[in-house]
A and B are shown apart, each in its own frame.
Chain A
């Protein structure tokens, strides 16, 4: 129960949609979402394949609590081999799509092969078919794609996950967007979808989700909401949103600025949460317009914004005059301080274009920042940038970059490569602030040593969501003790990422709160111990995939800049990321060899041998 026991296999080469039973033995070991998707991927593809070849598979997978009334129970994941990194990629999204897919009666959709022509997948409860996208939605933006599908099928409640120009153009950091501004955002999962000529997955679900013990499930989920809903963390996520973080990283000295040349931004007041809430003179409105919640969520952290109608970025562009998604902290850091841009309206516009065209704003912003450093150093000139001044801080250049990258035109194709490939192309790979090819989120790893280790050992490249050393990092800059914090939180998060619930609930819930809800929904005894072991199993399975793809301990590293150039201010002043002091202990705690490979004993203990 809580699973339908059914997956949909879509073979684009053959044009077939075939129901299959879900492997319930694997469910017991990997739960759902991130864990179950990774298990299927590991079993069905060779980790050495080209991520953009027809041999790759794209897995949309829900968790047991997706589509239920558990608060935040609307999450789904997209699992594939990522074209940005070459590692396993798992991108998690909210919105309404995941809940709808589950309510249509499917636990998972596996996309394989490559279509001969652009298509979209239409799912209405138990029925699925591939429909022609050429001359209909191929070439359209994410927003227009959603509108067109709903209009053609005459149902405004259809939920859609689609790619925009970035995915069609195979940008290495293209997203899969759903519900206009929610994203399976990282690692380029949208490029895999584009490589298969699959434009969208549209779904309408009316069958509901059964749980093992309905009365107990209602009681338990209600009890957990009584913990979550009145918590200060929930109110802050709702009241200020993730943007509250920018003042924290600024004060702490962990705000990546000017492509990590700096750790604090002198123009912070022009792009922070207070600016987001400040009423403009031009139209008497603030950029912040209100909140948007995902399926079943009682937090409602999502920001909605309106761009200044007088701002240069939207002059004569009526489609951007309304309310749109953004800014969130990670996108704001990347298109703001990381690029030195001190214009909240330009940042909001760039973020909106990332949604519209389907590209990861973190990787986009960090790639533009790298391009700006290349420009400052003379490695690229106005010849490449088509006359645009790519100096740090140029808001006009940022907006133009979003336009050409989102539509894969001209220099936008270079920017769509991601920071590492761009910097390698122009002779300065050291300017790429990446791990395993994926760009930094909004935390400089010099003041945050746990984050340094978390970035280096994340199975999808630099990521702030796969480990949770924040609380300790904000108290101590020294590297001691970080290995255990990172390892334990990685395992814990892997379990939450497989449940159907949102990681933000960690701010109010503990491990027993997740275990209670899963146990009420599912058959079998779901204890805290079982969940944590399951999380560790998932982390090791991802590692095995990456090792088989060719990654070794040498790839568990950070850019030379943060390893050798001390932070210039804040709590980490004078510090570099001390990775060498943390990695050996981390490998030992993980039960891995010094080469970063799980030992036979570890694999045996976790049932992976």
Chain B
């Protein structure tokens, strides 16, 4: 299945597979979870970093990603937990 991923607030860390707008299409095995997708994206690690995810318009807790299956055509938004100022 294919899902669309939108990375926001990530530049200059956008990993391969994303266009200049931070949007990429990824192919996963049927039955793959949101956690599987995040692992596949190979986001950079860092102290204090945690990546937030939204599946379509719903926020998904980090702790619950492994139990959230993805479906063909899903849209996933990924962003770091930054603060304004």
Show the binding face of A for B, using Cβ within 8 Å: 227, 231-233, 235-237, 239-240, 242, 244-245, 247-248, 251-253, 273, 301, 328-330, 333, 441-443, 464-465, 468, 470-471, 474-477, 503-504, 506-510, 569-571, 573
Asked if A235 contacts B13 (CB within 8 A), the reply is yes
Indicate which residue in A301, A476, A508 contacts B47 across the interface (CB closer than 8 Å).
A508
Q: How far is the CA of A474 from the CA of B85 in the complex (A)?
A: 17
Residue B62 interfacial (CB < 8 Å): yes
Asked if A244 contacts B59 (CB within 8 A), the reply is no
- In chain B, residues 13-51, which have Cβ atoms closer than 8 Å to a Cβ of chain A? 13, 44, 46-50
Q: Which residue of chain B is the closest to A302 with respect to CB atoms?
A: B85
B-side interface mostly: loop
- Chain B residues with Cβ below 8 Å from A328 are 84-85
Asked if A330 contacts B59 (CB within 8 A), the reply is no
Q: How far is the CA of A503 from the CA of B85 in the complex (A)?
A: 9
Indicate which residue in B10, B12, B52, B85 contacts A471 across the interface (CB closer than 8 Å).
B52
- Chain B residues with Cβ below 8 Å from A475 are 52, 59-62
Asked if B8 contacts A251 (CB within 8 A), the reply is yes
Q: Given that A231-B46, A507-B48 are known contacts, is A247 also in contact with B8, CB under 8 Å in the complex?
A: yes
Asked if A247 contacts B58 (CB within 8 A), the reply is no
- Chain A residues with Cβ below 8 Å from B77 are 251
- Chain A residues with Cβ below 8 Å from B52 are 248, 252, 471, 474-475
The 9 closest A-B pairs by CB, nearest first: A244-B9, A232-B46, A329-B84, A471-B81, A571-B59, A247-B8, A475-B61, A474-B52, A245-B84
Q: How large is the interface on B (under 10, 10 to 19, 20 to 34, 35 or more residues)?
A: 20 to 34
- Chain B residues with Cβ below 8 Å from A235 are 12-13
Q: How far is the CA of A240 from the CA of B7 in the complex (A)?
A: 14
- Chain B residues with Cβ below 8 Å from A227 are 47
- Chain B residues with Cβ below 8 Å from A573 are 57
* Nearest CB on A from B64, distance (A): 8
7 A-B pairs besides A442-B84, A475-B60, A507-B82 with CB distance below 8 A are A236-B13, A240-B9, A248-B79, A470-B83, A471-B52, A508-B46, A569-B57
Residue B67 interfacial (CB < 8 Å): no
Residue B69 interfacial (CB < 8 Å): no
* Nearest CB on B from A583, distance (A): 23
Asked if A232 contacts B60 (CB within 8 A), the reply is no
Q: How far is the CA of A274 from the CA of B60 in the complex (A)?
A: 26
Q: Given that A441-B84, A470-B81 are known contacts, is A245 also in contact with B9, CB under 8 Å in the complex?
A: yes
- Chain A residues with Cβ below 8 Å from B57 are 253, 569-571, 573
* Nearest CB on B from A268, distance (A): 11
Indicate which residue in B79, B80, B84, B85 contacts A232 across the interface (CB closer than 8 Å).
B80
Q: Given that A252-B59, A470-B81, A571-B54 are known contacts, is A233 also in contact with B11, CB under 8 Å in the complex?
A: no
* Nearest CB on B from A291, distance (A): 13
Q: How far is the CA of A470 from the CA of B52 in the complex (A)?
A: 10
* Nearest CB on A from B61, distance (A): 4
Indicate which residue in B8, B47, B49, B58 contacts A571 across the interface (CB closer than 8 Å).
B58
Show the binding face of B for A, using Cβ within 8 Å: 6, 8-13, 44, 46-50, 52, 54, 57-62, 77, 79-85
* Nearest CB on A from B19, distance (A): 13
Q: Given that A251-B77, A252-B54 are known contacts, is A239 also in contact with B12, CB under 8 Å in the complex?
A: yes
Asked if A477 contacts B82 (CB within 8 A), the reply is no
- Chain B residues with Cβ below 8 Å from A231 are 46-49
* Nearest CB on B from A298, distance (A): 15
Asked if A232 contacts B49 (CB within 8 A), the reply is yes
- Chain A residues with Cβ below 8 Å from B79 are 247-248, 251, 474
Asked if B13 contacts A245 (CB within 8 A), the reply is no
Q: Which residue of chain B is the closest to A332 with respect to CB atoms?
A: B84
- Chain A residues with Cβ below 8 Å from B83 are 242, 245, 464, 468, 470, 504, 506-507
- Chain B residues with Cβ below 8 Å from A240 are 9, 11
Asked if B9 contacts A248 (CB within 8 A), the reply is yes
- Chain B residues with Cβ below 8 Å from A329 are 84-85
- Chain B residues with Cβ below 8 Å from A301 are 85
Q: Which residue of chain A is the closest to B43 with respect to CB atoms?
A: A232
Q: How far is the CA of A443 from the CA of B52 in the complex (A)?
A: 16
Asked if B85 contacts A504 (CB within 8 A), the reply is yes
Q: Which residue of chain A is the closest to B45 with respect to CB atoms?
A: A232
Asked if B9 contacts A232 (CB within 8 A), the reply is no
Asked if A233 contacts B46 (CB within 8 A), the reply is yes
Asked if A248 contacts B62 (CB within 8 A), the reply is no
Asked if A233 contacts B48 (CB within 8 A), the reply is yes
- Chain B residues with Cβ below 8 Å from A443 are 84
Which residue among A233, A301, A333, A464 has the maximum number of chain B CB atoms within 10 Å of its CB?
Answer: A233
Q: How far is the CA of A510 from the CA of B49 in the complex (A)?
A: 12
Q: Which residue of chain A is the closest to B64 with respect to CB atoms?
A: A475
- Chain B residues with Cβ below 8 Å from A247 are 8-9, 79
Q: How far is the CA of A236 from the CA of B61 in the complex (A)?
A: 23
- Chain A residues with Cβ below 8 Å from B59 are 252, 474-477, 571
* Nearest CB on A from B27, distance (A): 23
Q: How far is the CA of A247 from the CA of B8 in the complex (A)?
A: 6
Q: Which residue of chain B is the closest to A475 with respect to CB atoms?
A: B61
* Nearest CB on A from B6, distance (A): 8
- Chain B residues with Cβ below 8 Å from A474 are 52, 59, 79, 81
Q: Given that A475-B62, A508-B47 are known contacts, is A248 also in contact with B11, CB under 8 Å in the complex?
A: no
Q: How far is the CA of A510 from the CA of B50 in the complex (A)?
A: 14
Q: Given that A240-B9, A240-B11, A471-B52 are known contacts, is A233 also in contact with B80, CB under 8 Å in the complex?
A: yes
Q: How far is the CA of A317 from the CA of B50 in the complex (A)?
A: 45
* Nearest CB on B from A343, distance (A): 21
Q: Which residue of chain A is the closest to B6 with respect to CB atoms?
A: A251
Q: Which residue of chain B is the closest to A468 with respect to CB atoms?
A: B83
- Chain B residues with Cβ below 8 Å from A508 are 46-48
* Nearest CB on A from B47, distance (A): 6
